[in-house]
Amino acid sequence: MTALAVSGLVAGYGAIQVLHEVSLAIPAGRIVTIVGANGAGKTTLLKTIAGVLRPWRGNVLLDGETIGGRPSYWVARRGVVLVPEGRGIFGDQTVRENLLLGALARREGRDQQSVAVDLERSLTLFPILRERLEGLAGGLSGGQQQMLALARGLMARPRVLLLDEPSLGLSPIFVQQIFGAIGRLRAEGLTILLVEQMAVQALALADHAYILERGRVTLEGPADAVRENPAVVQAYLGRSDAHPVR
């Protein structure tokens, strides 16, 4: 069953068109990754799905309900939650306060008991946050801040989680931990749309993949098949361990 469907999406900034008739489908309980170079439109696509940007044309459906063109708070309440590039944490608030902010996006389950259950789930996924719970988020390392951003997104109880470059700027040990957490969320049945600079790792984790070039989908298929495609290998995977692409 398709959890999130994008059809004929056209979007951009001002007079500059970035997305050209983009269509994709994210099956429920699966990870779909989008691979592309800098400027391909990956972040623009996530922002348009999340309601941060309004599409010029096209539609976005969540479980058959139209969410395209609705404001971001409304989309988040429906269960499509964006963890943005750059983390977007509030450094002058505590780790706990940042996590509780995520619960404000919920449509249901905002009572104290439900929030406490999900807070415990987030801290179990990222135990280091438990140790820093009452400290300021600005005092966390980059990797810990990325864990906080992901945990805050989970506090919103997403039906679909949009992840924009979760490994960006992180050391190898934190990359491993972040990808491990994403894999555990997939095992729990969470639907994830992943934009990731580390194409090898993203394709190894994902069930399905799309290649986005200059705002257009040029290839899509099972992640294993996309990973073996000669054009993809040449463009994105040839030396990606040494030179990860965005």
Model pLDDT, residue 242: 35
pTM for the model stands at 0.92
Please give the share of the chain, as a percent, with pLDDT higher than 70: 96
Dihedral of CA 105/109/111/116: which sign?
negative
- Reported confidence tier of residue 236, pLDDT bands at 50, 70, 90: confident
130 part of a folded domain: yes
Instruction: Give the Cα separation of 13 and 23 in Å (integer).
Output: 19
pLDDT tens for residues 75-112? 999 999 999 998 889 999 999 999 999 999 887 777 88
Q: Which domain holds residue 51?
A: 1-79+158-175+183-246
What sign results for the dihedral spanned by CA atoms 222, 42, 2, 121?
Answer: positive
Tally of domains within the chain: 2
| Cα–Cα distance for residue pair 72/50, rounded to 1 Å | 6
- Do 168 and 242 have their domain in common? yes
Query: At 238, is the pLDDT very low, low, confident or very high (cuts 50, 70, 90)?
Result: low
Same domain, 35 and 6: yes
pLDDT at residue 224, as a whole number: 96
Co-location of 72 and 189 in the same domain: yes
Whether the per-residue pLDDT at 243 is higher than 70: the answer is no
What's 229's domain CATH number? Answer: 3.40.50.300
Taking the C-alpha atoms of residue 176 and residue 71, their distance in angstroms, rounded to an integer, is 34
Same-domain status, 169 and 229 = yes
On whether residue 85 sits in a domain, the answer given is no
Condensed to tens digits (0 to 9), the pLDDT of residues 125-165 reads: 999 999 999 999 999 999 999 999 999 999 999 999 999 99
- Both 240 and 192 in one domain: the answer is yes
